[in-house]
Structure 1
Amino acid sequence: MKIGNITFDCANPRSLSHFWSDVLGYPRAEYPPQLREQLLANGLTEEDLLQRSIAEDPKGEGPRLFFQKVPEGKDAKNRIHLDISATPGRIPTREEVESEVERIVALGATLIGKVDTQWGLFPEYHYTLTDPEGNEFCVQ
């Protein structure tokens, strides 16, 4: 069994999928021209196509993020969030974490906090950010 999508309710699926594609190093997803024409020919409108978008690892190794437009805004803390590893496969240095945070803030995230403490025998060092629609996530 494998998770198919991690789904985000949002106001602007295309914009948010592009942000997350840039964060994760995925290519920005667009409808291939032939699929777009087929969908429009089958009765969907341009507005319908803007209701959903994805951020997908072309290798199929990383998570697939799915974005769907909803009418209501976000009004509370996430019940689940993503932790982004600054250096997948190994423990990053503080400088690597800070560099990744700077890169992601430049993409449009907002820095909201920093944790620098000891958790049992292990140091805990990460930043909490929000994406352009206010969804919290961490960089460690």
Structure 2
Amino acid sequence: MDRRLQIVVDAHDPRGLGAFWADVLGYVEEPPPPGFSTWEETLQGWGLPEDRWNDAYAIVDPDGGGPRLFLQKVPEGKVAKNRLHLDVGQPGRARGEEPDKPAVRARADELVARGATHVREFDDPAQGFWIVLQDPEGNEFCLV
């Protein structure tokens, strides 16, 4: 059985939201398949009409360690709180290590400038420190 993990995100604008998440995660656009030098060439070669080129988009961890994030176009918008969300840590921070609160806040500010929405900051001695954000299409995630 294949045990790879892919995270799928419904979106109105897969490419736009994918670019946002690539920035959040330090990911890159998935390379086109063998035999093609660009995605435009690939989609043309597959005969996909240009108005469908933003139906899906994928980003990957450039180091190959993280899961693939696949964004697919859907007609409906998000209407309720996520039942699943991502916790995104700071690069170089080990699990269990205290967060650098100013660095987490600065990163949150950067992501707000890229289209995220600041929802709430938590700083609880028993549970820890994190900031809840929403991506440009309203999906909640936490910076930890």
Q: Is the pair's TM-score, using the shorter chain for normalization, greater than 0.5? A: yes
Which of 108, 111, 115 is matched with 2:122 structurally?
115
Matches within 5 A, 1:1-140: 2-29=3-30, 33-34=37-38, 36-90=40-94, 91=97, 92-119=99-126, 123-140=127-144
**Structure 2 length normalisation: TM-score?**
0.83
Deviation at 1:125, TM superposition (A): 0.7
CA distance in 2, matches of 1:112, 1:34: 37
Structure-2 separation of matches of 1:139 and 1:2: 26
Give the aligned CA root-mean-square deviation in angstroms.
Answer: 2.0
Q: How many residues were matched structurally?
A: 137
Cα 1:134–1:126 shift into 2, 3 Å: same
TM-score, structure 1 as length reference: 0.85
Contact 1:17 1:55 in 2 (8 A): yes
Residue ranges of structure 1 left out of the alignment (5+ in a row):
none
Letter of the structure 2 residue corresponding to residue 114 of structure 1: E
Residues in 2 aligned to 1:33 and 1:115: alpha-carbon distance in whole angstroms: 45
**Aligned-residue identity in percent:** 41
Letter in 2 for 1:17: G
Unaligned runs of 5+ residues in structure 2 are none
Output the CA distance in 2 between the equivalents of 1:94 and 1:39.
43
- Distance in 2, Cα, partners of 1:38 & 1:101: 35
SS of residue in 2 equivalent to 1:104: helix
2: distance between equivalents of 1:118 and 1:28?
38
Deviation, 1:99, is: 1.9
Distance (Å, rounded) in 2 between the aligned partners of 1:87 and 1:42: 38
